[in-house]
Amino acid sequence: MDIFRKIIAGICAILFVVSGVIALFAFNIESKAFNSANYKQAFENQNLYERMPEILANALHVSIAENVNAAPYLKPLTVEDWRATIASLLPPEEIKTLTDDALDSVLNYLNGNADSAVISLLPFKRHLSSPAGMEVVKQILRAQTDCTTEQLLQLGLGLLSGEIGLCNPPAEFIGLLNPLIESQLQVMTLTIPDEVTLISGTQSNSTTDLRINLDRARAVMKVTPFFPLFFLFGVSAFAIRSLVEWLKWWGYPFFITGAISSATALLGAPTFGLIVQRLLQNRGANFMPPIFFSTMRETVSAVTSQILKPVVIEGLILAVVGLIMMLVAIFIVKRK
């Protein structure tokens, strides 16, 4: 009977170690991976805020290209034109705020608190209609090829909204364009949308909604801590009959679980980063703009390290507790 009890207890102890390691990882991933604060810290650590003008430029360029009512003179502007404009107009602190709002919007979408993820263009539009916006427009004009006679004529007539391409007027002529540029900037701020979509809500609550499977996985992650508790109860019920047995049967599994978890989290962060990148590649590329998707992939390594840091700490605590219990058991046995 004692042999049978100890066999069952041994099986429960092994299952405790396996489920305990899984629970430490799963629970921390679920609680940390969907918190925008971790991504903001990763953006800060890797200087990814500097990429935001490019992300905004791509989103704005696509939005204008798909808008049939957009002013014709906005269509020729390239992504690089928009990137330079945004970088010139928005100070770094506002770019950081916009980025943080975008990350909040994406995580709100993934957490089911919103049906889409968007990024606001209101700060950009506000700066665009200011005197600084006029100087940026002049810089864009100077970067174009020289105007032809026909283009100069249309510019002089105030027909910048025609089907002609943007061009670089002579230096003596550009000062005369100030009233025209100012009026067109007012029109431009009305044409540019107040926000652009990062993740569309067209698939929300449908069978193709990514969040359905994600919510199922997260639900399983949340209950993983109950499995090691169940197996620990099995160890206690079948094996523990004295203080020394309690110290041994809890101490060894605690130590092994903590040591494996800490070592895996500490040494396996790059591997976990590659796994998450592969998951993003397979699942995220279809519903996220390429440039934003690329930037999110760059944050994976930093975010993975932050997610696994609590696993290292919790594993070490568990291993130390287990080691102390083992040493106390040895001490008691030697005294007897």
CA 139 → CA 27, 129, 176, 227, 293, distances in Å?
A: 52, 15, 15, 64, 30
Distance of CA 34 to the CA centre of its chain: 8
Residue with tokens 């605690």: 254
Terminal-residue alpha carbon distance, the chain = 26
Phi and psi at residue 287, in whole multiples of 5°?
-120, 5
Contact 42, 48 (CB under 8 A): yes
Least confident of 155-164, 188-197, 299-308: 155-164
Q: Where are the domains of the chain?
A: 2-43+209-335, 49-199
Residue in the structure block whose two tokens are 């994406």 = 106
Give the residue-averaged pLDDT of 297-313.
79
Evaluate if residue 214 carries a pLDDT over 90: no
Burial 270-302 (b: 16+ CB within 10 A, else e): eebbeebbeebeeebeebbbebbbebbbebbbb
HSE-CB of 204 using CA atoms within 13 angstroms: 14
Q: Determine the distance from the C-alpha atom of residue 54 to the mean position of all C-alpha atoms in its chain, rounded to a whole number.
A: 16
1 band by pLDDT with thresholds 50, 70 and 90? low
In this predicted model, what pLDDT tens digit does every residue of 273-299 receive, in sequence order? 666 666 555 555 454 555 555 666 667
Question: What is the value of pTM for the model shown?
Answer: 0.73
In a 3-state reduction of DSSP, which class is residue 117?
A: strand
- The first and second tokens of residue 321, run together, are 């507790």
Read off the pLDDT of residues 64-90 as tens digits, 9 standing for 90 and up. 777 766 666 677 778 888 888 888 888
Neighbouring CB atoms inside 10 A of 213's CB total 10
In degrees and rounded to multiples of 5, residue 252 shows phi and psi of -65, -50
Can you give the pLDDT at residue 256? 97
> Given phi > 0 = left and psi -120 to 50 = alpha, else beta, which region is 47?
left
Q: Cα–Cα–Cα angle for 332, 330, 335, nearest 5°?
A: 35
Number of other residues whose CB lies within 10 A of the CB of residue 58: 18
Write a three-state SS string for 138-207: HHHHHCCCECCHHHHHHHHCCCCCCCCCCCECCHHHHHHHHHHHHHHHHHHHHHCCCEEEEECCCCCCCC
Q: Which residue matches tokens 């810290």?
A: 41
- The rounded distance, in Å, linking the Cα atoms of 257 and 14 is 10
Lowest mean pLDDT, pick from 11-20, 110-119, 169-178:
169-178
List the beta bridge partners of residue 195: 120
Contact yes or no for 34/303 (Cβ under 8 A): no
Tokens 């999110």, residue located: 296
241 or 132: whose pLDDT is higher? 241
